[in-house]
Chains A and B, each alone.
Chain A
Amino acid sequence: MEIALSSPLQMPASPTSSEPARRARRKSVIPGFGLTMGLTLAWLSLIVLIPLSTVFVRSAGMGISDFVAAGFAPRALAAYRISFGTAFAAAVINGVFGLLTAWVLVRYDFPGKRIINALVDLPFALPTAVAGIALTAIYAGNGWIGQFFEPLGIQLAYSPLGITLALIFIGLPFVVRSVEPVLEDLSIEVEEAALSLGARPWQVFARVILPAILPSLLTGFALAFARGVGEYGSVIFIAGNMPFKSEIAPLLIVTHLEQYDYAAAAAIATVMLIASFAILLAINLVQAWSRKRLSA
């Protein structure tokens, strides 16, 4: 599913028609603007904007010192470090293997390719709780894979390593589906020209392919990272959830809520919302930059 992928943030290019033609279009004969726009704005406000504002209003009502005490308490800071650190590590690994997967799917033919292509979207379709318990069963000390690491003293599940594994699962399709369309549009002739001029394959990759796909790779990376930072369902089963060691920020929000400490929950949520808006902005900037580069 191309959710949150290709163009959530980039508006389709505006029609390149001349100014008089545009003005003519504005006087559209199509009816229903008032009705559909009204419903859209009302529903958007009721379901998304007003509820989201509660977090900020609640935080604003706390006063700066209380907000900092709750939102940047040592346990909260440790949780941010774990959430952002594991999400970053998982997004880097997905950047490498997502690119590899996209490359193989676009450039090569092999039996079962269609099935693999459909399977890439599994993390979008599989409920996160199901992914969580399945990954835990695999990577726990007595699990299919965990048992080989246990004797080496490496604990895969119930550690930040386990969180990273879950986030690799969750983030993979974001990178593959971002890079794939750009790879498809890349003309092989340019690579062939570079090769025929004596470039080595790795030079072709570094100088021809990578620059062309870099914006989409960065977008996929940022989307996977953003999703990983907020992820809850797949992580809590495999994380171990030890404060300061393997407790993610969303879980800390839930813990505060269960103790009826709404203020602390709202403070941490505010920090996380601001972080995800910053990532959203970064994605927008990357896409604007890539569009400018393309049109140049």
Chain B
Amino acid sequence: MNDILALFRTVRARHFLIAAALAFIALFLVLPLVAVFTEALSKGFAAYGSALIEPDALAAVKLTLLVAAISVPVNIVFGICAAWAVAKFDFPGKSLLVTFIDLPFSVSPVVAGLIYVLLFGAQGWLGPWLQDRDIQIIFAVPGIVLATVFVTFPFVARELIPLMNEQGRDDEEAALSLGASGFQTFLRVTLPNIRWGLLYGVLLCNARAMGEFGAVSVVSGHLRGLTNTMPLHVEILYNEYNFVAAFAVASLLALLALVTLILKSIVEWRFDYHRRSVAH
């Protein structure tokens, strides 16, 4: 029997499959990453550096950080609320609610931007009302934040819901029966249980918030130095044939992606460890 098994898992077959998979990954995943840094540094470090400290680039970095600093905490609060309601209680329509929470994942980013234009734009439902009060949402920072919150909406909730479902309600019920208040129970019992899952969701949420292009591009108006996030700034520079600067700004976003992947791998490792130790 051993030689039949050997036939199936021959060294040659194994090597061929590994080589094919690695070639595919090198071609489609590694090469683009290498291209970003090569193009960014193609005119040397001086050109790279000056592209990054240019005022419009700095304004884009600041706006991107601002948008993430608003939309990520908002999604943390929402995600915890949604997961608490779904995992700790029984109610009719639960699976419909979860489907609705996931909805933004199946909507094209462009449509995500469009819906806010239809709502708040000059010709939108609330457009005239907003105009009378001199409030600008579309082609301004609030619109960018709203579109970002929409596309990142499910990230935290969808990490926490299955995790909190799996952990059940016994821990919380024990704490409450011992006299802890609801908030104490959440802070001392639930939060430590879900911390790795929460961190995981926040990482993904942040990466998407800083990198979102389609939805933000529709609502931003592309005002240089004012409503340009980093991905939008990359597009403008690229369309102006300023490739070194475009790839320089892009390289910062690629670094963000790499850091996200590294942290994510660490969390996965700790998270699995943590979950196993909970199970036993």
Binding site for B on A (CB under 8 A): 1-4, 7-9, 11-12, 22, 25-26, 28-33, 35-37, 39-40, 43-44, 47-52, 54-55, 58, 97, 100-101, 103-105, 108, 110, 114, 116-131, 133-135, 137-138, 144-145, 168-169, 172, 191-192, 195-196, 201, 204, 226, 229-233, 237, 249-251, 253-254, 257, 260, 262, 265-266, 269, 272-273, 276-277, 279-280
- Verify if B204 is at the interface (C-beta below 8 Å from A): yes
A116 / chain B contacts, CB cutoff of 8 Å: 22, 25
16 contacts between A and B (CB under 8 A): A12-B162, A29-B176, A32-B88, A35-B81, A55-B114, A104-B17, A104-B18, A126-B33, A126-B254, A129-B253, A133-B36, A169-B29, A195-B7, A229-B108, A230-B106, A276-B108
A40 / chain B contacts, CB cutoff of 8 Å: 78, 81-82, 85, 97
Instruction: Report the separation of the CA atoms of residues A12 and B246 in the bound assembly, to the nearest whole angstrom.
Output: 44
Partner-contacting stretch, out of B47-55, B128-136, B147-155: B147-155
Binding site for A on B (CB under 8 A): 1, 4-5, 7-8, 13-14, 17-18, 20-22, 24-25, 27-33, 35-36, 39, 77-78, 81-82, 84-85, 88-91, 94-95, 97-111, 114-119, 121, 123-125, 146, 149-150, 153-155, 158-159, 162, 165-166, 169, 172-173, 176-177, 182, 185-186, 200, 204, 207, 210-214, 217-218, 230-232, 234-235, 238, 243, 246-247, 250, 253-254, 256-258, 260-262, 264-265
* Shortest Cβ gap from A202 to chain B (Å): 10
5 further interface pairs, Cβ-Cβ under 8 Å (given A37-B91, A237-B238): A1-B200, A100-B24, A116-B22, A125-B211, A131-B32
Q: Is the CB of B18 within 8 A of A33?
A: no
Q: Is the CB of A55 within 8 A of B17?
A: no
B20's partner among A100, A145, A233, A237 (CB-CB below 8 A) is A100
A129 / chain B contacts, CB cutoff of 8 Å: 211, 213, 231-232, 234-235, 250, 253
Q: Is the CB of A3 within 8 A of B4?
A: no
A12's partner among B91, B165, B214 (CB-CB below 8 A) is B165
B118 / chain A contacts, CB cutoff of 8 Å: 51, 54-55, 58, 262, 266
Q: Is the CB of A48 within 8 A of B103?
A: yes
A192 / chain B contacts, CB cutoff of 8 Å: 1, 5
In the complex where A129-B235, A265-B114 touch, is A47 in contact with B28 (Cβ < 8 A)?
Answer: no
Q: Is the CB of B32 within 8 A of A135?
A: yes
Q: Is the CB of B149 within 8 A of A36?
A: no
Q: Is the CB of B213 within 8 A of A233?
A: yes
Q: Is the CB of B261 within 8 A of A108?
A: no
Instruction: Report the separation of the CA atoms of residues A277 and B108 in the bound assembly, to the nearest whole angstrom.
Output: 11
Identify the closest chain A residue to B268 (Cβ): A118
B99 / chain A contacts, CB cutoff of 8 Å: 9, 280
Q: Is the CB of B207 within 8 A of A125?
A: yes
Instruction: Report the separation of the CA atoms of residues A9 and B154 in the bound assembly, to the nearest whole angstrom.
Output: 12
Identify the closest chain B residue to A283 (Cβ): B106
Q: Is the CB of B31 within 8 A of A201?
A: no
Identify the closest chain A residue to B89 (Cβ): A33
In the complex where A204-B8, A265-B114 touch, is A3 in contact with B172 (Cβ < 8 A)?
Answer: no
Instruction: Report the separation of the CA atoms of residues A55 and B113 in the bound assembly, to the nearest whole angstrom.
Output: 11
B230 / chain A contacts, CB cutoff of 8 Å: 127
Q: Is the CB of B211 within 8 A of A128?
A: yes
Q: Is the CB of A48 within 8 A of B150?
A: yes
B119 / chain A contacts, CB cutoff of 8 Å: 50-51, 54
Q: Is the CB of B211 within 8 A of A130?
A: yes
* Shortest Cβ gap from A14 to chain B (Å): 9
B98 / chain A contacts, CB cutoff of 8 Å: 8, 11
Q: Is the CB of B17 within 8 A of A103?
A: yes
Q: Is the CB of A130 within 8 A of B234?
A: yes
Instruction: Report the separation of the CA atoms of residues A257 and B115 in the bound assembly, to the nearest whole angstrom.
Output: 11
Instruction: Report the separation of the CA atoms of residues A122 and B232 in the bound assembly, to the nearest whole angstrom.
Output: 20
* Shortest Cβ gap from B139 to chain A (Å): 12
B81 / chain A contacts, CB cutoff of 8 Å: 35-36, 39-40, 43
Q: Is the CB of B111 within 8 A of A250?
A: yes
Q: Is the CB of A54 within 8 A of B124?
A: yes
In the complex where A12-B166, A126-B211, A232-B213 touch, is A133 in contact with B247 (Cβ < 8 A)?
Answer: yes
B17 / chain A contacts, CB cutoff of 8 Å: 100, 103-104, 108
A131 / chain B contacts, CB cutoff of 8 Å: 32
Identify the closest chain B residue to A253 (Cβ): B110
Instruction: Report the separation of the CA atoms of residues A35 and B80 in the bound assembly, to the nearest whole angstrom.
Output: 12
Q: Is the CB of B29 within 8 A of A134?
A: no
Q: Is the CB of A133 within 8 A of B265?
A: no
Q: Is the CB of A172 within 8 A of B261?
A: no
Instruction: Report the separation of the CA atoms of residues A32 and B85 in the bound assembly, to the nearest whole angstrom.
Output: 8
Q: Is the CB of B100 within 8 A of A49?
A: yes
B100 / chain A contacts, CB cutoff of 8 Å: 44, 48-49
A229 / chain B contacts, CB cutoff of 8 Å: 108
Q: Is the CB of B110 within 8 A of A230?
A: yes
Instruction: Report the separation of the CA atoms of residues A30 and B85 in the bound assembly, to the nearest whole angstrom.
Output: 10
Q: Of residues B103, B108, B162, which shows the largest number of chain A Cβ atoms within 10 Å of its Cβ?
A: B108
Q: Is the CB of B265 within 8 A of A110?
A: no
* Shortest Cβ gap from A51 to chain B (Å): 4
B257's partner among A33, A125, A226, A253 (CB-CB below 8 A) is A125
